[in-house]
Amino acid sequence: TILARLLGELEPGQEAASRVMPVHRDLDGKRVVITAGPTREALDPVRYLSNHSSGKMGYALAAACVERGASVTLVSGPVTLSTPPGVERIEVTSAVEMLTAVESCMPCDLFIGCAAVADYRAAAVSEHKLKKTGDAGGLTLELVRNPDIVATIAARADRPFTVGFAAETQSLETHAGSKLERKRLDLIVANDVSLEGVGFGGDDNAATLLWREREGTRHHALPRQPKTALANAIVDHIADRLR
């Protein structure tokens, strides 16, 4: 894998810099669990609520961790990506299923919650397809809060080093900083999904890492780059803090 990487088994368009980036085995022997992709929340047998997550970022993180010697389980919502070599993949649909799958993988050393978990699901899932009412009026959909997967894992007695993601369209660092505190995460990766060409669906992304130190919240900005390179930069940072 290392040789293949140095010899340039990379997609066109990926930066030359990443071709010669040395691969450290700095996660040797670590158990890593990563969530990726969207979740889908059924309303009835045919309809669902979901989001635009492609899963690319989570899959790139899984590949980066395996290359560094970790044993990686990827808990993935419905995406069209193939599993990176050496990664164990568990497929799930809803947030509740995703949490159950993640909990079945505990304890571990590092948990990265990269999935775009739906915040809400239908209060009641209809067994049959919902029929429209006769009139041309609206419909009120009652939703209930889904479990917060990263916060649940971060609250465990045997908690791993826990990394969350924050996809925002405004006040990026304020919202991400508040999530870091409220969910008791070790690190949060914040990205602005309203920027052109980055975030959901695209191949590039930019991010700001936030974490707490004694003197307060620290920030580190990672510029726009392919998601594979960004995944390596994020894992560099995590591996430093895991030691």
Query: Which residues contact a second copy (rule: CB under 8 A)?
Result: 43, 45-53, 80, 116, 118-120, 123, 127-129, 131-132, 136-145, 167-170, 175, 193-194, 200
* 51 is a catalytic site residue: yes
160 versus 199: smaller Cβ distance to a second copy: 199
140 versus 243: smaller Cβ distance to a second copy: 140
In the complex, least distance from residue 205 CB atom to a second copy, rounded to whole angstroms: 14
In the complex, least distance from residue 2 CB atom to a second copy, rounded to whole angstroms: 33
Please tell me the distance from the alpha carbon of residue 115 to that of residue 212, in angstroms, as a whole number.
Answer: 23
In the complex, least distance from residue 102 CB atom to a second copy, rounded to whole angstroms: 20
22 versus 137: smaller Cβ distance to a second copy: 137
* Contact between 58 and 72 (Cβ < 8 Å): no
Please tell me the distance from the alpha carbon of residue 41 to that of residue 20, in angstroms, as a whole number.
Answer: 42
**Catalytic choice (51, 191, 205, 232):** 51
Burial level of 17, CB count in 10 A (0-12/13-18/19+)? Answer: exposed
Q: Provide the 10 A C-beta neighbour count for residue 174.
A: 11
65 versus 122: smaller Cβ distance to a second copy: 122
* Contact between 235 and 64 (Cβ < 8 Å): yes
In the complex, least distance from residue 136 CB atom to a second copy, rounded to whole angstroms: 5
Report CA dihedral (16, 20, 21, 24) to the nearest 10 degrees: 160
Nearest Cα neighbor of 225 from 62, 17, 4, 74 is: 17
List the catalytic residues: 51
